[in-house]
Amino acid sequence: MTYIEYVQLSPKEKIKYKFTSFFKNLGHGFINFFVNLYFRLIRFFKGLGRSFKEVGYAFKHGNVFTKLSFLFLGVGHMASGQIIKGILILLVEALFIFYMIMTGGAAIYGFTTLGNLESYFQCLHGVPDASGNVNFVLDSNDYHFLDQSTAGEMCELLHPGESIQLTQIRCDNSFTFLLFGLLAIVIIVAFVLFYISTIKNTILLQERKQAKLHVSTFFEDIKDYLDGKFHRVLLALPILGVCVFTILPIIDMILMAFTNYNRTTSYPRFFSWIGIDNFITLFGGGMSKSGAKFGLTFVKILGWTMIWAVLATFLNYFLGMFVAMLINKKGIKFKKVFRTVLVFSIAMPQFISLLAFNKFFAKGGMIESLLKLLGLMSQNDALRILDQATSARIFIIIVNIWVGIPYTMLAVTGILMNVPEDLYESAQIDGASPFTVYTKITLPYVIFITGPKLITDFVGNINNFNVIYFLTGGNPATNDYLNAGKTDLLVTWLYKLTVNQMNYSYASVIGIMIFVICAVLSLIAYRHTSAVKNEEDFA
């Protein structure tokens, strides 16, 4: 449909058109997401192939030193005159080999099995003394028995007539196996990448030297880190932090979704790979009762999470923007006072203000006494806002508006102050009305800057832990759900599954589902935000 056609539609048809096109876009976006993923994968493998080709080229055309570099990285660098760099590279290789021999290989093996031995039993024996106390000593041969009954029998056979005691020794901690295995894989991948780029560099250096071009000295290399490679210096530490304490744990948790890491295994630290069983339970788990409950709970909570995220995000955004515009309106005095009062609410730590809300609106709380004092409620009644699903949910959304408006207000106020003055000046000269100025300059500017914020806010609200946890704790509780209450979001359910139930494998499945939902939704939205498309437009 062209623009002209669109304009000629009646308002009803316009809305209908927008509505259908939204869902069409959603579908397209969803499909595109996977198509893109496919192309990305292809591109990735093509890039990989190119890298290998270049390595092959280096082997074919390299001189002795370059060829030697395939075994001893860095030799080529030294031959080309980059002595210090060559030594450092060689050191990295030596460290890698040392690591692989010492722990890396074992770690990879451990990763595949997640440990073989859950525990074994030791036999302790001793003769009671006069007062009946027994001084137990370890059996001199220190046999390891795999199961308790055999251990008991054998122990009695070995030490007839004595008092027997069995101790269970925990052996393999599957989590450690998982973690160190993962670490080993990461290190190997990193080393392979390092290897390829070094080889590429080596042949490049050799050719430069042959062509009698300048080969950079170590000092020049270092100096380049302050200019052309300055981004590496700035990003090194933050990326390291993210890798170790964000990416590694995330991969770890993803892998946990494919294990039976929950309390039902006898020793919670000992678990093994079970494939995609957890996902099967979630989607088609009609087989067992608890499986069906898992799927049902997921669907129900997902529905409420979506309603919550949409309402919370857009109400806060538009109401906050409205308040900000109102405060910044020309001719309004005491701007600072209004702003300060609103900021008061976010200045107070959330866990205090939210808990206060919870306590004030609870049965026998401040609001109830106030209502009774004013005669709006009979003395025998109790305030039951938090006891019923619907009222509790409305309560949460309203309180969240209270939390959210000041944040949006602050963000938008800052942006409003930064709208380039000359835009307004030229609009004034052209005789634009305040309304036009608002719709054509202010609003697009604000949306331009805050567009990504809207998306991150949406994702943030899907994962909004604080508001739910402190306001209702997910209650009112219900037996229809698996370990969750009526106001629980997916993320608070996740919390309950991990911290209270220690059902880590189910929790990981939930986490992955949350991610997929957030990823699909925001990739679609992100594609349509101008701030990303035309990043440099307003600069």
The 10 Å Cβ neighbour count of residue 459 is: 20
Closest separation in Å from C-beta 13 to other proteins: 33
Residue placing its CB nearer to other proteins in the complex, 481 or 504: 504
* C-alpha 219: how far from chain center: 40
Closest separation in Å from C-beta 326 to other proteins: 5
Residue placing its CB nearer to other proteins in the complex, 74 or 451: 451
Residue placing its CB nearer to other proteins in the complex, 56 or 241: 241
Closest separation in Å from C-beta 383 to other proteins: 12
Residue placing its CB nearer to other proteins in the complex, 83 or 447: 447
Distance CA 240, CA 358 (A): 40
Alpha-carbon distance values, 463 to 113, 296, 349, 393 (Å): 33, 20, 18, 16
Tokens 């993803």 sit on residue: 254
The residues that bridge with 145 in the sheet, in sequence order, are 121
Residue placing its CB nearer to other proteins in the complex, 56 or 364: 364
Residue placing its CB nearer to other proteins in the complex, 205 or 494: 494
Distance CA 415, CA 191 (A): 45
Distance CA 352, CA 359 (A): 10
Distance CA 292, CA 370 (A): 45
DSSP assignment of 104-169 equals: IHHHHHHHHHS-S--EEEEEEEE-B-TTS-B--EE-TT---BSSHHHHHHHHHHHSTTSEEEEEEE
Distance CA 79, CA 256 (A): 47
Closest separation in Å from C-beta 246 to other proteins: 4
Q: What is the dihedral of CA 280, 257, 490, 495, to 10 degrees?
A: 140
Closest separation in Å from C-beta 521 to other proteins: 9
Please give the single-letter amino acid code of residue 126: G
Residue placing its CB nearer to other proteins in the complex, 137 or 240: 240
Which of 511-518's residues contact partners 24+ apart within 8 Å by CB, and which partners? Answer: 511/253, 511/254, 511/257, 512/254, 512/257, 513/282, 513/298, 513/302, 514/462, 514/463, 514/490, 517/302, 517/462, 518/459, 518/462, 518/463
Closest separation in Å from C-beta 290 to other proteins: 21
8 A C-beta contact, residue 76 and residue 68: yes
CA atoms within 13 A on the CB side of 137: 8
Residue placing its CB nearer to other proteins in the complex, 136 or 402: 402
Distance CA 393, CA 487 (A): 6
Closest separation in Å from C-beta 77 to other proteins: 22
Residue placing its CB nearer to other proteins in the complex, 158 or 204: 204
Closest separation in Å from C-beta 12 to other proteins: 31
Closest separation in Å from C-beta 202 to other proteins: 20
Closest separation in Å from C-beta 46 to other proteins: 15
For 259, the 3-state DSSP assignment is strand
Distance CA 254, CA 166 (A): 37
Closest separation in Å from C-beta 267 to other proteins: 15
Residue placing its CB nearer to other proteins in the complex, 294 or 469: 469
Closest separation in Å from C-beta 23 to other proteins: 22
Instruction: Classify residue 120 by burial, with Cβ atoms within 10 Å: 0-12, 13-18, 19+.
Output: middle
Residue placing its CB nearer to other proteins in the complex, 487 or 522: 522
Residue placing its CB nearer to other proteins in the complex, 274 or 519: 519
- Structural tokens at position 31: 């499909």
